[in-house]
Structure 1
């Protein structure tokens, strides 16, 4: 009996979670926390990262939609005890403001 793998986006959707920014400090400190702009779909960005689609990722980076979490953003989330949407695509964690 063969099993059918769900589409990548479906699998990734099941792995997203709201999490306090405080719990992601080790990823930020290691330079592995990636901010995703609210106008992008976190799952789509995660899928493109998992697929190693460097062309699309580069385009989003040039547009300022995907980048390492800045010190200023990290401090603001920390000070506000914010929750973020998070998705781990090893070795990175993608984060997006939880509205």
Structure 2
């Protein structure tokens, strides 16, 4: 993928990234299509790598634990705290990230 294509894809994904509540993500968790992205990573860059099938980057994040399917413990924690979450869809996945220091969305 050319750098121009990557820049266009990054901009497109950035425009599709939005805050969301945990309750809206629960159906995606239930069907196993929700991926957690560590706060140390750029959510949109991870989405770009997934969309572009960059297996090397994705494998590195999976191995390091910086990208993984949402665990039941993680889901329960988010249900309890209701933090600000950012999400972007890269079908069939929904990538989600909690922003560091986020407050509840009440």
TM-score, length of structure 2 as denominator length: 0.85
After superposing the two structures, state which structure 1 stretch, 81-90 or 14-23, moved more: 81-90
Task: Select the structure with the greater relative contact order (CA < 8 A; seq sep ≥ 6).
Answer: 1
Q: Are 1:63 and 2:64 matched, yes or no?
A: yes
Question: What's the secondary structure of 2:57's corresponding residue?
Answer: helix
Indicate the residue corresponding to 2:51 in structure 1.
Answer: 50
Shift in Å at residue 81 of structure 1? 2.2
Structure 2: gaps (5+ residues): none
Aligned-residue RMSD, C-alpha: 1.3
Indicate the residue corresponding to 2:87 in structure 1.
Answer: 86
Shift in Å at residue 53 of structure 1? 1.0
Question: What's the secondary structure of 1:14's corresponding residue?
Answer: helix
Aligned mates of 2:51, 2:76 — CA distance in 1: 28
Q: Deviations over 1:40-75 (max 9, x none)?
A: 000000000000111110111111100001111111
Aligned mates of 1:27, 1:54 — CA distance in 2: 23
Indicate the residue corresponding to 2:34 in structure 1.
Answer: 33
Structure 1: gaps (5+ residues): none
Displaced runs of 4+ in structure 1, greater than 4 A?
none
Aligned mates of 1:39, 1:78 — CA distance in 2: 22
Indicate the residue corresponding to 1:9 in structure 2.
Answer: 10
